[in-house]
Structure 1
Amino acid sequence: MTQITRDGKTILVLGGTGKTGRRVAERLKARGLPVRVGSRSGSPPFDWTDPGTWAPALDGAAAAYLAYQPDLAVPGAVDAIRGLTETALAGGTRRLVLLSGRGEEEARACEKVLADAGAEWTVLRCAWFAQNFSEGALTDPVREGEVVLPPGDVGEPFVDVDDIADVAFAALTEDGHTGELYELTGPRLLTFADAVAGIAEATGRDIRYASVAPDAFAAGLRAQGVPAEAVDLLTYLFTTLFDGRNAHLGDGVQRALGRPPADFRDFARRTAATGIWNGAEQ
């Protein structure tokens, strides 16, 4: 039994309603651990853009899971992580687990903030989420039968968000993860076309993937009414992170949990069974 469990102190989960945070909070609650979900609708509320909400959310917390919104690549993220880390340490929250991204220089700067601050830190440097196809902006394109994005024939080791949550849970509640940087990926490289083909096979539907030039991609987002800041961020991410820099596997899941990572094929089959990708005609 770990120190955090013995003390019965709260664990703060920032981004607690998002893809990873929701799962982390669910795992903590299932083990009977006291959890505080950090979100604008939480009690007390937490807002990354309002530093006045940080200390109340951290009050009494022994550990915190840091999932920054909208992405560590945006301007101001490093300052926010630095400020949150200083607030946490000043209030006695020493164990900090950061959700980070592969291939992002800005994310690495945020990782360094934790390492330099003297916290009991763990970094989860993650590949592209498999669940981006089922719990985000790509869900509707999959349902409609065509996913159009800039990446071409570049491999990505899509990671299952449930693996991320399992590693985060371990880092928050167990000893032995302090100072570890876990590169969390799936077990094999897939292009986006491969991933979409896997979803098509799992659903038994005709779902196509098309690679489009970044300018055309951005124009399509603007035509859909996507805010300019979001267009810029998505275009940056899709054109920067998929240049081959992340086309290699990480061993973080194996090192943290002692088991291999989940395969995208299993994610696709499991998710298809829920019916979430059924087309409008179905």
Structure 2
Amino acid sequence: MTQNTQTTQNDQITLVIGGTGKTGRRVVERLTSLGRPVRVGSRSAEPGFDWQDPETWEAALEGVDRVYITYYPDLAFPGATEQVDAFSRLAVARGARRLVLLSGRGEEAAQAGEECVKKAGAEWTIVRSSWFNQNFSESFFLEPVLAGEIALPTGDAVEAFVDTDDIADVVVAALTDDRHIGKTYELSGPRLLSFSDVAVELSKATGREISYVSVTHEQYRAVLRENGLPEDFADLFAMILDGRNAHLVHGVEEALGRKPKDFADFAREAAASGVWDA
């Protein structure tokens, strides 16, 4: 009986939307190491997946039993709820039995997308994340770190940065273990950090001076505009400035029974990888 159950599980395809991204790539690696069939959902995959092109969704869902849903650029952005709703309903109609959604802590606009997943008719788990540690090594804060100056409209506000390895571990648990069905996990790291604190930790890890400079909201929107990035990204800093997430949560411990990774540990590991070598 156990062997038959395991065989059935190992035949189930998991679609990982954003499977080349920060959390998705790690989820793919973990599922693959467990012997689980995985399909990467991205525009460069075969078949391709594009949130802005619903005609690509059907092929990506062929034979899929469960789905990890990430939405780019952010679940709180305009239009995200409608697309997540339509996709979730289609996924269930095509046979998906479990949906795991990556959401954001304190993002009220994202909660509408969460409700769509819950109502789609499948088993579900919601994973609400704080800001990623890896934003400083794999994303939009990488170049400022390399340049030695992080200029952001955050003042002295604090955030409970969480590591994407922890997120991926929670997501994989939710995809593979029935104990997480119907749960909403809020994830954070083990301590609150201001961006000044972050700069100190990065300086220690890299052995060179990295400073934090506070800029106005409009100045930062101008920088985004100049670099061809969505200006709406600036609005996400409101969640840091108003203090809604200025407290620790314990979803990593609840889901995995262990403590989350500290930012200092992340910084040392990233520095050792050479990603910040000037």
Superposition TM-score, scaled by structure 2 size: 0.95
5 Å-filtered alignment, 1:72-151, equals: 72-151=75-154
Give the share of equivalent positions with the same residue, in percent.
54
**2:67 is the counterpart of 1:56:** no
Partner in structure 2 of residue 270 of structure 1? 269
Partner in structure 1 of residue 161 of structure 2? 158
- Cα separation, 2, equivalents of 1:175 and 1:117: 18
- Cα separation, 2, equivalents of 1:219 and 1:177: 42
Partner in structure 1 of residue 30 of structure 2? 27
5 Å-filtered alignment, 1:213-232, equals: 213-223=216-226, 225-227=227-229, 230-231=230-231
Partner in structure 2 of residue 250 of structure 1? 249
Q: How many residues align?
A: 275
**2:235 is the counterpart of 1:236:** yes
- Cα separation, 2, equivalents of 1:101 and 1:84: 19
**2:13 is the counterpart of 1:6:** no
- Cα separation, 1, equivalents of 2:157 and 2:22: 24
Q: Answer whether contact 1:184 1:251 (CA < 8 A) is retained.
A: yes
- Cα separation, 2, equivalents of 1:82 and 1:40: 20
Structure 1 unmatched runs, 5+: none
- Cα separation, 1, equivalents of 2:247 and 2:239: 16
Q: Which moved more, 1:198-207 or 1:3-12?
A: 3-12
Q: Answer whether contact 2:103 2:114 (CA < 8 A) is retained.
A: yes
- Cα separation, 2, equivalents of 1:16 and 1:5: 24
- Cα separation, 2, equivalents of 1:180 and 1:242: 28
TM-superposed deviation, 1:241: 4.0
TM-superposed deviation, 1:166: 0.5
Structure 2 unmatched runs, 5+: none
**2:41 is the counterpart of 1:42:** no
208, 212, 227: which one pairs with 1:209? 212
TM-superposed deviation, 1:195: 1.1
Deviation track 1:203-256 (CA, whole Å, cap 9, x = no partner) reads 111100011110111122333x324xx12x111112344320010111110011
**SS, match of residue 76 in structure 2:** coil
Q: Answer whether contact 2:154 2:240 (CA < 8 A) is retained.
A: no
How large is the Cα RMSD of the aligned pairs? 1.5
Q: Answer whether contact 2:158 2:240 (CA < 8 A) is retained.
A: no
Deviation track 1:151-195 (CA, whole Å, cap 9, x = no partner) reads 111111100000000011111111111110000110111111111
**SS, match of residue 201 in structure 2:** helix
Residue identity in the other structure for 1:254: E
Deviation track 1:36-58 (CA, whole Å, cap 9, x = no partner) reads 00011111111111111112111
